[in-house]
Homo-oligomer: A and B are copies of this chain.
Amino acid sequence: MSQNPLRDRLYHILEPHRKGDYVSQVFDIFLILLILANTAAVMASTVSEIHQQWHPQLYAFEVFSVVVFSLEYIGRVWSATSAPQTLPFRKGPYQKPWQQRLRYVFTPMALVDLAAILPFFLSMFVLLDLRILRLLRLTRLIKLGRYSRSVNLLFTVIKKELRVLAAAVSVLIIVMVLAATGMYYIEQHAQPEAFGSIPAALWWAINTLTTVGYGDVTPVTALGKVFSGAITILGVGIFALPAGILASRLSEQLRLRRDTFRKHVMEVMEDGSLTPHELSRLNQLRETLGLDDDQANLLIDLAQDYKQQNQQDDQHFRYCPHCGKSLPQPEDSHSHQG
């Protein structure tokens, strides 16, 4: 992609490691541990005894972390031009390096990286509230997202199924408002403090319908208990829904991705063979689609069997073209006819 091997190497070190790239792997582990240690440090520094006793050490650690994260950020921006064009069909016109870098700077992960270091530098020039500074340091936790494919999968699903989740939450909130209103009318006089207004009653409704049930506010009148019981049973029933909808939608997604992979395998194997380069491309696709090793291998095996058979004798279906299973050999019948 580029003519700068140093920058290319840096790019690969900073990105999540590939199998066999041990330098990149060590760097990944180091960064993950540093992020976790930062989180622990922020949490520990709010315990006053720890804060008083270890203040200098914690500050030194913070400076060290900011230096590392700053270098990482600079490295990422500089090596952004070495990124492969993962989406070739989207490439558009040629971009100058500074355009590529500027575009990278505004990607979500780059903004998170910036948010992880900026407050420290800002606090040198501007007087910032120490507590808000600390809070911003926790954004470093989000940097972890880069390293876990499963966490990414979760976020992908959340993004894709946001509507269903939002709908479920909307219905929940509507039910909560109605429950709070009902309870306000019922318990208003018995417990003027806990149910004196609908917003106050909402506290009870939220903690009941999510089944948290702190128990700091509970109905005391008979009617209130009947109403509360009915609402709780209803709420639990409603809550089986979003989970079920999500599960069925995710099954669909998985099927869609498997079909896409199978289509690519068949295309790649049009010529009956599978070069190492094609295999590595398929593997990349497999990872992008989040498919299992087992499934991918099965699909490739079936396609390979099918192609080999059909090359020997390209007249008949030896393998079902749809599922790749072997068929009894009808060519015998044809030879009878011939």
Cα of A233 to Cα of B209 in the assembled complex, Å: 9
Cα of A322 to Cα of B229 in the assembled complex, Å: 49
Which listed segment binds B: A44-52, A70-78, A83-91, A281-289? A44-52
Cα of A333 to Cα of B312 in the assembled complex, Å: 13
> Are A43 and B171 within 8 A (Cβ)?
no
A96 contacts partner chain B, Cβ-Cβ < 8 Å: no
- The main secondary structure of chain A at its interface with chain B is helix
Nearest neighbor of A335 in chain B, beta-carbon distance: B337
Which listed segment binds B: A14-22, A23-31, A116-124, A178-186? A178-186
A141 contacts partner chain B, Cβ-Cβ < 8 Å: yes
> Are A225 and B203 within 8 A (Cβ)?
yes
Cα of A139 to Cα of B119 in the assembled complex, Å: 47
Nearest neighbor of A213 in chain B, beta-carbon distance: B212
Question: What is the copy number of this chain in the assembly?
Answer: 4
Cα of A305 to Cα of B251 in the assembled complex, Å: 26
Also in contact, A47 and B203, with CB within 8 A (given A167-B148, A168-B154, A246-B240)? no
A244 contacts partner chain B, Cβ-Cβ < 8 Å: yes
Q: Which of A185, A252, A253, A254 has the most CB of B within 10 A?
A: A252
A65 contacts partner chain B, Cβ-Cβ < 8 Å: no
A66 contacts partner chain B, Cβ-Cβ < 8 Å: no
Query: Which chain B residues border A321 with CB–CB below 8 Å?
Result: 320, 325-328
> Are B252 and A254 within 8 A (Cβ)?
yes
> Are A256 and B294 within 8 A (Cβ)?
yes
Chain B proximity of A238: nearest CB distance (Å): 8
A279 contacts partner chain B, Cβ-Cβ < 8 Å: no
17 chain-A/chain-B pairs, Cβ below 8 angstroms: A47-B198, A47-B200, A135-B181, A148-B166, A154-B171, A154-B241, A165-B237, A168-B237, A208-B212, A240-B242, A244-B250, A248-B254, A256-B298, A266-B325, A310-B328, A317-B330, A337-B337
Q: A149-B163, A249-B254, A320-B322 are in contact. List 6 more A-B contacts (CB 8 A).
A: A43-B181, A150-B163, A207-B213, A212-B212, A241-B246, A315-B336
